[in-house]
Structure 1
Amino acid sequence: MLMSETNRNSSFVREFACHEEAIRAFVRRMVPSRSDCDDILQEVALTLWEKFDEFEEGGNFRSWAFGVARYKVLSWLRDHGRRRLVLDSDVVAMIADVSVEEESHLENQRIAFRSCFQKLDGDDQTLMANAYRQDLKIQDVAAKSGRTTAGFYQWLYRMRQLLLKCVQRQLANEAKQ
């Protein structure tokens, strides 16, 4: 493998890994299910990889990726248009436009959430993460925490409120600066 190809590979992986979460969220807002989102995201990643030579170094990878994702979603909608839960392509285009406009605000929220989440005790982080895992039942997570299911839901509610207040505080502080 040539050094320039190694640099290209590293550069793509670095950019894609940095923006994958935002690209996934962008796609998810326009399709009815997570599995559809996963399928489209694979297509987006493949297209981004295949066309990475066209990407201008130092350019806005996220914006470029959103453009590719938008076309992949529209293509998916065209191919799956007969399904009832699929939005009209005009509606998806409108959602995509709004999503692009809102992305910087959403990214700030994600950064603030990660920061607030990291401030939680390690056990609380694990419990919160387990509460949202698809392969675990909330009753099992509650039992492992030593709480009843109802008690765990109350704890989860309090933790969500704590995180929400932390995120709001952090965003307000950033707005003042």
Structure 2
Amino acid sequence: MDQISRKRDAGRHSEFVELLTRNYYKLNSFILTLVPHRMDAEDVLQSSITYMWEHFKDFKPDSNFLSWAFTICKYQVLTYYKQQQRCRLQFSPKAIDIIEAENEKVSDALEQRYDALKACMKHLSEKDLTFLKRRFVESKSLKSLADEIGMSVNVAYKHLARIKNALLRCVHQKLDSGDVI
């Protein structure tokens, strides 16, 4: 390669970098509107830039770079869509039946835990029930709750931990004994 060709290539490189830098965020935003995941969008943008650089010799200096770049990005996004379609995981009817059955088991188990928790909460004192209600139903912070009750935050944390541990033991006991409706 002779010196004139190298200077021309260096000039084209500088021109490409300048045009890309000026339009980078527009291209990125364009791709982000079409590709749902940021990491995938970054991959599409990088493949678009690589393609642009490899084909920059075909770009006419007096034409619209952004329009040319958007067209390349669009085709890179379409390529991404095709790749995602090929990678789509499809379950067999048997697998769907298994997943459905497992989902029902999990739902039943969660319902039993919920019933056990409701039964265990009936054994709490009114003071502890009020404490839990203010903390979780009213979404009060432990600090504000402690201030209202007149206890330190540390004592409030310990009080909440004792209530949670008592409920956890009770729920486990009810589930282990089968004492759940």
Q: Looking at CA atoms only, which structure, 1 or 2, has the larger radius of gyration? A: 2
Structure 1 length-normalised TM: 0.46
